[in-house]
């Protein structure tokens, strides 16, 4: 029988067979029971979690759980419709008001996921005749949103503002129809974008600027608004995109802006119009998590204490790490086979981290990626360091 459409999956099957031949299958890891924000049962034994993106540890926060339970009891388990049909509840619009107020912006749209937020906003704002200039290490959702829009897509070298400016010069007058997209913290290596310099270039060349704060919301800035707040560039950013699935501990996405035209995106975005809206429980949990984030800095202080402790500890063991200390800590490994075996060794020794292989890792590297949480205790951070010491 002719395989036809399925022929293209043969390389995937071959890659998967290579893993199985090594008796390693990272894609079949199943969390059997969650014990806390930092511990779970995997393979019948307790495992320390260091790869969850649960930066503020709010997935088990009692107030967030109670808000979600109350919403389920009062509004049911789901909306069963899109925002444009029957899926806009009072909680959705309340959260949009609260997100806009948190960022000091006039407009906000809530989406079902962060991925969908990027798809919807980028593909609606940009089209034929426009240009999107994106960092080469951008998330897959940014790449896909650009492709859907139909604009000309240009990449600049990761965090290289000189390369960015060179491309802006070549665009000439087209910069007025150019959207530059960067991320607050890049999800693989954990480094910040050079936003202050990019904001200077914006003043010079007149392009539009979008910042994806998925991994920096709740992490950077005096009040946790992200990189744009940390470098005092909130007013220079036209659109901030983010997710609820990292610091806010649930699922969903958003875009905020001071441009009143953002509200018109909801009438044109296919990923908004034709996707079921977030459940009442999800929205209620996000609203409570946002209140916790806005209320104080202690939870972020603990996060950064843990981050610096782990980064310096792994550095002291002689590992090559990402370029700076953030709650995303990438540990460079060797070959793909070596990295797989070391990932498996850590799991067998009670530590779960993220396995990152090409093409997901930048520059063809192989990484073991840790994400730090404010819920980690000092002893747990030391256990992570101890586990990595067995790999040397």
Average pLDDT over residues 65-91: 97
Indicate which residues carry an active-site annotation.
187, 215, 246
Closest of 134, 290, 112 to residue 210, by C-alpha: 134
Q: Look at residues 295, 320, 339 and tell me which one is the last residue of a structural domain.
A: 295
Quick check: 108 and 100 in contact, CB under 8 A?
yes
Least confident segment among 22-26, 138-142, 387-391: 22-26
Closest of 343, 348, 318 to residue 26, by C-alpha: 343
CATH of the domain at 323: 3.90.1150.10
Residue 69 domain-assigned (yes or no) = no
Closest of 153, 234, 240 to residue 199, by C-alpha: 234
Report the C-alpha gap between 370 and 216 in whole angstroms: 15
> Per DSSP, what are the bridge partners of residue 33?
41
Closest of 330, 334, 335, 342 to residue 389, by C-alpha: 342
Q: Are residues 16 and 112 in the same domain?
A: no
Quick check: 290 and 139 in contact, CB under 8 A?
no
Share of the chain above pLDDT 70, in %: 99
Residue for token pair 């090559």: 320
Q: Are residues 47 and 135 in the same domain?
A: no
pLDDT at residue 358 in the model: 87
Least confident segment among 120-124, 182-186, 360-364: 360-364
pLDDT at residue 2 in the model: 59
Q: Domain range spanning residue 269?
A: 76-295
Q: Are residues 318 and 202 in the same domain?
A: no
pTM of the model: 0.95
In angstroms, what is the C-alpha Rg of the chain?
A: 21
Confidence band for 1, pLDDT divided at 50, 70 and 90: very low
Q: Are residues 282 and 303 in the same domain?
A: no
Report the C-alpha gap between 35 and 22 in whole angstroms: 30
Confidence band for 296, pLDDT divided at 50, 70 and 90: confident
Residue 90 domain-assigned (yes or no) = yes
What is the tens place of the pLDDT at every residue in 337-373? 999 999 999 999 999 999 998 888 888 899 999 999 9
Residue 70 domain-assigned (yes or no) = no
Report the C-alpha gap between 263 and 268 in whole angstroms: 10
Torsion over CA: 372, 378, 379, 382 (sign): positive
What is the tens place of the pLDDT at every residue in 128-167? 999 999 999 999 999 999 999 999 999 999 999 999 999 9
Q: Are residues 125 and 267 in the same domain?
A: yes
């Amino acid at each position: 029988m002719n395989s036809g459409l399925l022929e293209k999956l043969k390389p995937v099957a071959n890659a998967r067979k290579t893993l199985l031949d090594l008796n390693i299958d990272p894609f079949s890891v199943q969390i059997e029971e969650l014990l806390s924000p930092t511990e779970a049962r995997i393979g019948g034994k307790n495992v320390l979690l260091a790869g969850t993106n649960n930066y503020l540890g709010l997935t088990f926060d009692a107030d967030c759980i109670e808000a979600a339970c109350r919403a389920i009891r009062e509004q049911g388990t789901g909306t069963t419709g899109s925002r444009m049909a029957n899926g806009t509840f009072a909680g959705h619009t309340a959260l949009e008001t609260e997100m806009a107020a948190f960022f000091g912006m006039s407009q906000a749209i809530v989406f079902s996921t962060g991925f969908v937020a990027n798809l919807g906003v980028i593909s609606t704002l940009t089209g034929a005749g426009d240009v999107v200039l994106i960092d080469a290490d951008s998330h897959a959702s940014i790449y896909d949103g650009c492709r859907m829009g139909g604009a000309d897509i240009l990449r600049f070298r990761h965090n290289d503002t000189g390369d960015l400016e060179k491309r802006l010069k070549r665009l000439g007058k087209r910069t007025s129809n150019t959207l530059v997209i960067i991320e607050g913290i890049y999800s693989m290596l954990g480094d910040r974008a050079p936003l202050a310099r990019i904001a200077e270039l914006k003043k010079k060349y007149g392009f539009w600027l979008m910042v994806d704060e998925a991994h920096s919301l709740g992490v950077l800035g005096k009040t946790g608004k992200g990189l744009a707040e940390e470098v005092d560039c909130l007013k220079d950013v036209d659109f901030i995109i983010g997710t609820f699935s990292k610091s806010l501990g649930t699922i969903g996405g958003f875009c905020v802006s001071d441009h009143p035209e953002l509200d018109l995106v909801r009438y044109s975005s296919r990923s908004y119009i034709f996707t079921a809206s977030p459940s009442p429980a999800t929205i209620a949990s996000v609203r409570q998590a946002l209140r916790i984030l806005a209320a104080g800095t202690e939870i972020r202080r603990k996060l950064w204490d843990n981050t610096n402790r782990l980064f310096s500890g792994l550095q002291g063991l002689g590992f090559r790490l990402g370029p700076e200390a953030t709650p995303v800590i990438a540990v460079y490994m060797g070959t793909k086979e070596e990295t797989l075996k070391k990932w498996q060794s850590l799991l067998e020794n009670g530590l779960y981290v993220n396995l990152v292989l090409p093409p997901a890792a930048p520059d063809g590297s192989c990484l073991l990626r840790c994400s730090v949480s404010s819920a980690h205790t000092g002893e747990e951070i030391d256990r992570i360091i101890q586990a990595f010491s067995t790999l040397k």
